[in-house]
């Protein structure tokens, strides 16, 4: 059945991409960009894992492949459900552009302030290698500059005044800097904000062949950028294309050996969950939220840990299988959604798709600034939801919803109703 599930996943991914390419404006919609991530991130690992399953049993391999099929299919199924008109009305908030302009300036200054504090702070790391201490708070609060960049870019495209252009450049600079050190998510975030802004303002879409080429190149770019980091751009600017091609081929071949695969992590997590019956029922996602939003350096790390469930730990995986999750790798959205609800965990992808459907209709057809900013802010977390886990999506989605809602709440037009006497 392994080959059957593999072929089924390939067919589903082709359908997701085909759905978008038939009408090119769909490349900005949830099913297509998630299909791109399944093709570029997950499918290469599927082939590598089948070739080199390692300690995985046949049942565990079949389970993770079938779950991958369900998750990919849910990205389209959830998007086909008819939207709720009441939700659409709540998303359609009338904005005072002058107030929104002020909010953009405040968010930009906040972003620069916390980026500066981050630059002068010594980075502390936990035993697992993740950041800890004040740096995590500064990094967290600095991300509001992404929202400011979206606000100013939309204003520039709709009204290309000098002040709008200058503020767009200033707000966009912190987003450009991480690109040159080879950070993949900030790079994707920048591309998404720019692309969606041009679509929302001018209805511009890239040529179909360019989109197809980009999806194919992503298969090779994702592993090579992760390996080279800042050296990738050094090679690009120096014109050493042969070195880039050889590095890409080497990174892809290393991935296909299957020694280190995120999908293998997902397979072990899913198998351990099935054997032990320790389904999280959302507790794992709660743990992710607590990890992100409860500052251990303020409330105490013991108290923070007491708020988490941690049903299946890395130590238990080592005891069960003799397998250690490699440092710097993830368990993917396929793994953590199965750990929460079994096969029903795929509906998390469908739920996110359903929400994106509302945002798309509200932003494109109702011209909602609130939905436009939220859409631009959530595309990258949605992709990371597949590569890093649905828990990571909830972490970043809460941030985006909170700060965009604050910005829109201040900027909304306040109507006054007067009684009319007959």
pLDDT, tens digit (0-9, with 9 covering 90-100), for 118-161? 989 888 776 666 777 788 888 889 999 999 999 999 999 999 99
Q: Cα(172)–Cα(149) distance, rounded to whole angstroms?
A: 6
**180 or 4: which carries more pLDDT confidence?**
4
**337 or 238: which carries more pLDDT confidence?**
337
Of the candidates 322, 337, 324, 326, the residue with the CA atom closest to the CA atom of residue 387: 337
Q: Residue 386 falls within a domain, yes or no?
A: yes
pLDDT score recorded for residue 357:
97
Of the candidates 96, 154, 187, 161, the residue with the CA atom closest to the CA atom of residue 363: 154
Structure token digits, residue 122:
């010594």
pLDDT score recorded for residue 28:
92
Q: What average pLDDT does this structure show over 357-377?
A: 95
Give CB contacts under 8 A, 24+ apart, made by 176-184. Answer: 179/233, 180/230, 180/233, 181/229, 181/230, 182/225, 182/226, 182/228, 182/229, 182/230, 182/231, 182/232, 182/233, 183/229, 184/222, 184/225, 184/226
φ, ψ of residue 144 in degrees (nearest 5): -65, -20
Query: Total domain count for the chain?
Result: 1
Structure token digits, residue 112:
């620069």
pLDDT score recorded for residue 419:
45
- CB-CB contact of 178 with 233 (8 Å): no
pLDDT score recorded for residue 225:
58
* Highest-scoring range by mean pLDDT, 180-189, 202-211, 409-418: 202-211
Q: Residue 416 falls within a domain, yes or no?
A: no
> Mind listing the pLDDT tens digit for each residue in 69-86?
999 999 999 999 999 999
**231 or 93: which carries more pLDDT confidence?**
93
Q: Cα(154)–Cα(174) distance, rounded to whole angstroms?
A: 18
- CB-CB contact of 256 with 322 (8 Å): no
Share of the chain above pLDDT 90, in %: 61
Confidence of residue 346 (pLDDT cuts 50, 70, 90): very high
- CB-CB contact of 235 with 244 (8 Å): yes
pLDDT score recorded for residue 238:
64
Q: What average pLDDT does this structure show over 53-62?
A: 93
Share of the chain above pLDDT 70, in %: 87
Q: Residue 420 falls within a domain, yes or no?
A: no
pLDDT score recorded for residue 347:
96
Of the candidates 395, 274, 388, the residue with the CA atom closest to the CA atom of residue 339: 274
Q: Cα(191)–Cα(330) distance, rounded to whole angstroms?
A: 23
pLDDT score recorded for residue 327:
82
Structure token digits, residue 277:
């019956």
Q: Cα(185)–Cα(401) distance, rounded to whole angstroms?
A: 19
With tokens 């500059």, the residue in question is 145
pLDDT score recorded for residue 233:
55
Confidence of residue 217 (pLDDT cuts 50, 70, 90): confident
pLDDT score recorded for residue 11:
97
- Is pLDDT above 60 for 417? no
> What DSSP designation does 96 have?
-
> What DSSP designation does 81 have?
S
Crossing angle for the helix pair 2-22 and 208-228, to the nearest 10 degrees: 130
Q: Residue 417 falls within a domain, yes or no?
A: no
With tokens 């059957």, the residue in question is 4
> Mind listing the pLDDT tens digit for each residue in 152-192?
999 999 999 999 999 999 999 988 887 776 566 777 788 88
Dihedral sign, CA of 29, 35, 38, 40? negative
Beta strands in 135-279 (DSSP E): none
| Integer angstrom CA distances of residue 120 from 28, 70, 75, 134, 179 | 38, 45, 42, 11, 21
- Is pLDDT above 50 for 418? no
Give CB contacts under 8 A, 24+ apart, made by 363-366. Answer: 363/200, 364/200, 366/88, 366/91, 366/92
Q: Cα(135)–Cα(415) distance, rounded to whole angstroms?
A: 42
- CB-CB contact of 75 with 42 (8 Å): no
Of the candidates 285, 281, 262, the residue with the CA atom closest to the CA atom of residue 344: 281
- Tell me, rounded to whole angstroms, the distance of Cα 180 from its chain centroid: 20
pLDDT score recorded for residue 299:
85
Q: Per mean pLDDT, which range of 307-316, 391-400, 407-416 is the poorest?
A: 307-316
Rg of the chain over Cα atoms, rounded to whole angstroms, equals 22
* Average pLDDT of the chain to the nearest whole number: 87
Query: What range does the domain containing 110 cover?
Result: 2-411
pLDDT score recorded for residue 223:
64
| Integer angstrom CA distances of residue 246 from 108, 219, 224, 260, 353 | 40, 15, 10, 20, 37
Instruction: State the Cα angle at 112 between 107 and 115, rounded to 5°.
Output: 120
DSSP string, 36-48: HHIIIIIHHHHHH
Question: What is the reported pTM?
Answer: 0.89
Helix (H) or strand (E) holding 125: strand 124-125
Q: Residue 419 falls within a domain, yes or no?
A: no
Confidence of residue 95 (pLDDT cuts 50, 70, 90): very high
Confidence of residue 310 (pLDDT cuts 50, 70, 90): confident
Instruction: State the Cα angle at 250 between 244 and 256, rounded to 5°.
Output: 135
**249 or 118: which carries more pLDDT confidence?**
118
């Amino acid at each position: 059945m392994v080959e059957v599930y593999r072929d089924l996943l390939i067919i589903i991914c082709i359908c997701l991409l085909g759905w978008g390419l038939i009408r090119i404006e769909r490349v900005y919609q949830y099913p297509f960009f998630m299909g791109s991530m399944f093709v570029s991130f997950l499918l290469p690992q599927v082939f590598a894992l089948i070739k080199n399953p390692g300690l995985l049993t046949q049942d565990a391999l079949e389970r993770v492949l079938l779950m991958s099929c369900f998750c990919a299919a849910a990205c389209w199924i959830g998007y086909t459900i008819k939207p709720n008109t009441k939700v659409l009305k709540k998303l359609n908030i009338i904005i005072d552009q002058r107030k929104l302009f002020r909010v953009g300036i405040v968010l930009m200054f906040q972003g620069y302030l916390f980026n500066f504090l981050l630059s002068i702070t010594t980075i502390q790391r936990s035993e697992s290698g993740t950041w800890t201490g004040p740096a995590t708070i500064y990094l967290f609060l600095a991300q509001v500059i992404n929202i400011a960049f979206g606000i100013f870019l939309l204003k520039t495209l709709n009204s290309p005044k000098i002040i709008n252009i200058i503020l767009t450049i200033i707000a966009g600079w912190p987003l450009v800097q991480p690109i040159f050190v080879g950070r993949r998510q900030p790079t994707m975030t920048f591309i998404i904000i720019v692309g969606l802004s041009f679509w929302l303002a001018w209805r511009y879409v890239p040529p179909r062949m360019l989109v197809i080429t980009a999806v194919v190149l992503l298969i090779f770019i994702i592993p090579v950028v992760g390996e080279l980091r800042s050296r990738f751009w050094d090679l690009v600017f120096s014109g050493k294309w042969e070195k880039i091609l050889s590095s890409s081929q080497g990174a892809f071949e290393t991935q296909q050996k299957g020694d280190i695969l995120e999908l293998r992590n997902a397979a072990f997590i899913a198998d351990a969950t099935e054997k032990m019956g320790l389904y999280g029922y959302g507790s794992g996602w709660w743990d992710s939220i607590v990890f992100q939003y409860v500052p251990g350096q303020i409330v105490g790390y013991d108290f923070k840990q007491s708020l988490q469930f941690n049903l299946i730990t890395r130590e238990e995986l080592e005891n069960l299988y003799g397998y250690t999750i490699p440092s710097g790798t993830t368990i993917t959205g396929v793994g953590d959604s199965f750990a929460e609800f079994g096969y029903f965990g795929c509906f998390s992808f469908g739920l996110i798709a359903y929400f994106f459907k509302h945002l798309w209709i509200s932003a494109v057809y109702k011209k909602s600034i609130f939905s436009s900013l939220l859409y631009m802010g959530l595309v990258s977390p949605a992709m990371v939801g597949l590569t890093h886990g649905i828990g990571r999506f909830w972490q970043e989605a809460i941030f985006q919803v909170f700060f965009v809602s604050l910005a829109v709440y201040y900027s909304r037009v306040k109507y006054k109703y007067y009684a009319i006497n007959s």
